[in-house]
Structure 1
Amino acid sequence: MFANAVWIQPPIIKCYELTCQNKIHILTLGGIIQSIQVPDRTGNVSEVTLGCDSVADYERSGAYFGAIVGRYANRIAKGELQLNGERFQLACNNAPNHLHGGKVGFDHHLWRAEHHTKDNLCTLSLYYDSDDGEEGYPGKLSVKVTYTLNNQNELGIEYQATTDTTTVVNLTNHTYFNLNGSDDCLSHQLQLHCSQFTPTDETSIPYGEIESVINTPMDFTAMKPIGRDIGQDFIQLKQARGYDHNWVIWTERDRENPLKTVARIEAPESGRTLEVLSTQPGVQFYTGNYLEGEPARGGGQYGMRAGFCLETQHFPDSPNRPEFPSTQLNPGETYQEKAVFRFSAM
């Protein structure tokens, strides 16, 4: 049920294969999901993610293909935050803001790996210790991310972290999906179980308000094609060149039932479907608006909107927005979140 291969280069980067009914490849570089292969409605198995052929392509890409992103996924305004009255300046790599952990985020680091198989489960646990001061963040952060594949065609991702000093944490996975294997993702049908989103300024930083999606192009409360409204004359879409926004799942955590259904995606051409569940308060829906020219499998290049991301996470700029769910982590506490990606065919 489980095998692993090794690419030899300095340093050694391993590619693990998790196999149950589906097949998934994960790299120890950045915890990258390099490949997910699932059947369509006729049983034909093929690739449903975007990715690269080589480590060199992943390293030169700016798209975060399939990677674990952190210490803080999404943006922090001007890379500035305050904790316990002390100001910290983070690296600014998405002018004028901090994005996805900085110039050398978790996606660029080599993770330690342990793999197990038990009771029809394939599990890969990855570990990384982020030093105090890395990219400007306070505290030594010890991170564990566990990928689990089962016979129900579910990929689970569990995030855990502890710190020795008060810090902020926001982890997600940045896989791009295309369930048809087509040139773009616009024909996919999407439903988001979210009636609100956080509008942003021209640099993708939230104003702080939480607004309704109803009667706007941001409304995916009922299933609709991703491309139906993407070209509308709507300031939020024009600023981001498409969808690249945080939808609100909750503002107060449900302790009894933390795992919420977030989204359902249907691909009419292939018949593949994807359901996303998460414990996190938000989901960043991104339509690959800046993918043009990024390295693709087979030596080619991806085009604009070649795939979409559903990055389950906390809200952008939460450290500077006390009205948003907190991302602060203190010594003695454990950051713990989970996402599930459930594949099927119709």
Structure 2
Amino acid sequence: MTLKTRCITLLCLGLFQIGLAQTPVKIKKNSSEKVVKIDKKEFGILPDGTKAELFTLRNSRGMEAQITNYGGIITSLTAPDKNGKYENITLGCETLNDYLKGVPFFGALIGRFGNRIAKGKFTLEGKEYTLAKNNGPNALHGGKKGFDKVLWKATPLNGEEPQLKLNYTSVDGEEGYPGNLNIEVIYTLKKDNSLQINYKATTDKTTVVNLTNHTYFNLTANVNKEILDHEVTILADKLVPVDRTLIPTGELTAVTGTPFDFLTAHKIGERINDANDLQIKYGKGYDHCWVFTDSSNKLKKVALVYEATTGRKMEVFTTEPAIQFYSGNFLDGSAITKGGIPAKFRSGFCLETQHYPDSPNKPNFPSTVLKPGETYQTTTIYKFSVK
């Protein structure tokens, strides 16, 4: 072997050894990037014979979200208490049949229009549209068969932060709404113990859109307990007052000096039965829309809920301009949750990020109109920790 050949051989061997030395570092780096898989199983069979599925998302900390493609429903969401114990902190059912029997929107995706539309009618570009009246004289949460009662196409996306992508096309005229609306909703269970919901929609005809999620929370993880001792902060200085059918009057009023002032923390039960407040009387408690002090479309913190016995804390972030705070005033025990426990009066609360109710009939409210070529896009995050 010549000196030149020997040098080349040693050089190649050295580079090979360097490569071997570097390989474990690369493997170590990759091994630390934990891929958290999504489990899937059959959830039940719908009356038309199609199958619904249940997906379980888990993050690296042990938090778990169970979501079915029937109605995009969050059937369960766990969060840690001050002792590190993860428990389900939502109201949900055991089986698909339990949901099919009828529940008050437990954990569901709501659309095309979350909240109420007066008298089930609105006019858009000079044409009047008629909707189903499914809440007294008004339309509520998309109609008799809103997005909470349809089967979404589900695509699980495995990764460090597991995601479930849901797609649905609401055809022109469905529940009375104009335009073929293509919707995409992505649930992401994040590393920091938050659940992020991204909404996106496009249309081929001018329509109205107001999507939200209707999860009922009880941070005690015990549906037998009322939510009245939960401490709530809502960073909103205005309220959307309503009439006796819970339709907005069209004005906005200051929350200061009223039972609706949650700019500083108050227990839900502290003022919920104020007999002197007409809005409390109309809602049988809290069932109203708050307008954020920062009503921009940037992602911002808008609410905080704290439950002292477990130490659980929930923060809400959104790009939406308002939130519907509902204190479970119409829960009557008829809907049965996991473990066979009836959902009784005020056993859960909702914080539904959204635009104002009846916006299609209130030109002074922020617009919910979506036109061809535009994209409806919003984000909401529910983050859980302990205090």
Give the TM-score range, shorter chain.
Answer: over 0.9
Cα distance in 2 between the residues matched to 1:147 and 1:250: 27
Letter in 2 for 1:195: D
Aligned to 1:19: 58
The residue that corresponds to 2:155 in the other structure is: 114
Moved more, 287-296 or 191-200: 287-296
Seen in structure 2, the aligned counterparts of structure 1 residues 195 and 8 have a Cα distance that, compared at 3 Å, is closer
Deviation at 1:150, TM superposition (A): 1.2
Deviation sequence 1:150-193 (CA, Å, 0-9, x none): 11111100000000000000000000000012411100000000
**Distance in structure 1 (CA, Å) of the matches to 2:55 and 2:314:** 23
Q: For the Cα contact (< 8 Å) 1:48–1:179, is it kept in 2?
A: yes
2:73 to 28, 32, 36: 32
Alignment of 1:213-292 (within 5 A): 213-233=255-275, 234-249=277-292, 253-254=296-297, 258-292=298-332
Q: Following the alignment from structure 2 to structure 1, what is the Cα–Cα distance between the partners of residues 286 and 119?
A: 22
TM-score (norm 2): 0.87
Asked if structure 2 preserves the Cα contact closer than 8 Å seen for 1:124 and 1:147, the reply is yes
Name the residue aligned to 1:65: 106
Distance in 2 (CA, whole Å) between partners of 1:37 and 1:272 is 11
Secondary structure of 1:121's partner? Answer: coil
Higher percent of residues as helix: 2
AA paired with 1:44?
A: K
Q: Quick one: which amino acid aligns to residue 167 of structure 1?
A: T
Other-structure match for 2:182: 142
Tell me how many residue pairs correspond in the alignment: 342
Aligned equivalent of 1:6: 42
CA distance in structure 1 between the partners assigned to 2:328 and 2:301 by the alignment:
23
Structure having the higher Rg? 2
Preserved CA contact (<8 Å) 1:200 1:207: yes
Q: Which SS does the other structure have where 2:97 is aligned?
A: helix
Number of the residue aligned with 2:202: 162
- What letter is aligned with 1:189? E
Distance 1:252 1:152, change over 3 A: closer
TM-score, normalised to structure 1, is: 0.97
Q: 2:357 aligns with which of 310, 316, 335?
A: 316
Alpha-carbon distance in structure 2 between the residues aligned to 1:252 and 1:143: 24
Q: Deviations over 1:192-228 (max 9, x none)?
A: 0001110000000000110000000011000111110
1:138 to 1:251, Cα distance in 2 relative to 1, 3 A:
farther
**SS of match in other structure, 1:227:** helix
CA contact (8 A) 2:238 2:253 kept: yes
Q: What's the CA shift for 1:7? A: 2.5
Give ranges in structure 2 of 5+ residues lacking alignment.
1-35
Which of 207, 212, 217 pairs up with 2:254? 212
- What residue is the counterpart of 1:185 in the other structure? 227
- Cross-structure match for 2:367: 326
2:94 to 48, 53, 56: 53
The corresponding residue for 2:338 is 297
Conservation of the 8 A alpha-carbon contact between 2:110 and 2:147: yes
Q: Which amino acid aligns with 2:230?
A: H
Does structure 2 conserve the Cα–Cα contact (< 8 Å) formed by 1:251 and 1:325? no
Equivalent residue for 2:22? none
Using the TM superposition, give the Cα deviation of residue 253 of structure 1 relative to its aligned residue in structure 2, in angstroms: 3.0
Cα deviation for residue 62 of structure 1 reads 3.5
Partner of residue 139 from structure 2, selected from 98, 101, 116: 98
RMSD, aligned α-carbons: 1.1
Structure 2 counterpart SS, 1:319: helix
Distance 1:63 1:270, change over 3 A: same
Tell me the percent identity. 46
Q: Which amino acid aligns with 1:38?
A: A
**Which deviations, in whole Å up to 9, do the C-alpha atoms of 1:105-126 show, x marking residues without a partner?**
00000000111123x2111100
Decide whether the 8 Å contact of 2:205 with 2:372 is kept in 1.
Answer: yes
